């Protein structure tokens, strides 16, 4: 699935966000090596710290479906700024795809792309422990 389509899956997933506390709705979509795509949205909780990011939910969908290698993630949020995955999500993504592409939308809705390595340089990984 091309980048633009992956972003549109993320945009549609955003409609399912459960974000009554922040009002900040986020959608994500991961592409796995199999070619399958898994959406996710943020899921908040009255106990705020239990909140799940959209990226985390999309990764959980993919991994619990049997995937082990992710090649790209797209993120979509309602913001005047480009929304890249938070630090915790970057670390979570690294586990399943150090070379993955990370896509988001610019202020005008234009697609933006970086690699996960750009977003998380000198990362701690399984490799570090060898």
Cβ at position 86, least distance to ligand THU in Å: 4
Nearer to ligand THU, 55 or 105 (CB): 55
What is the residue whose two structure tokens read 């999500």?
A: 89
Catalytic residue among 5, 15, 44, 55: 55
Question: Cβ closer to ligand THU: 39 or 85?
Answer: 85
Instruction: Residue 12: name the closest of 24, 26, 1 by CA.
Output: 26
Query: Where on the chain is the footprint of ligand THU (CB under 6 A)?
Result: 19, 22, 24, 26, 42, 44, 51, 53-55, 83, 85-86, 89
- Residue 93: name the closest of 123, 42, 55 by CA: 55
Q: Is 5 a catalytic residue?
A: no
Q: Is 6 in contact with 74 (CB distance < 8 Å)? A: yes
- Minimum CB distance to ligand THU, residue 127 (Å): 25
Where helices occur in the chain by DSSP H, the ranges are 3-14, 54-64, 87-94, 116-119
Of the pair 44, 105, the CB lying nearest ligand THU is at 44
Please give the positions annotated as active site: 55
């Amino acid at each position: 699935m091309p980048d633009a389509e992956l972003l549109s899956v993320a945009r549609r997933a955003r409609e399912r966000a459960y974000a009554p506390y922040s009002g900040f709705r986020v959608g994500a979509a991961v592409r796995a090596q199999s070619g399958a795509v898994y959406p996710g949205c943020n899921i908040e909780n009255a106990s705020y710290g239990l909140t799940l990011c959209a990226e985390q939910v999309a990764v959980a969908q993919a991994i619990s479906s049997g995937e082990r290698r992710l090649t790209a993630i797209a993120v979509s949020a309602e913001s005047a700024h480009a929304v890249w995955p938070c630090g915790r999500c970057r670390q979570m993504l690294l586990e399943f795809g150090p070379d993955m592409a990370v896509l988001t939308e610019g202020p005008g809705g234009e697609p933006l792309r970086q690699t996960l390595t750009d977003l998380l340089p000198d990362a701690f990984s399984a490799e570090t422990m060898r």
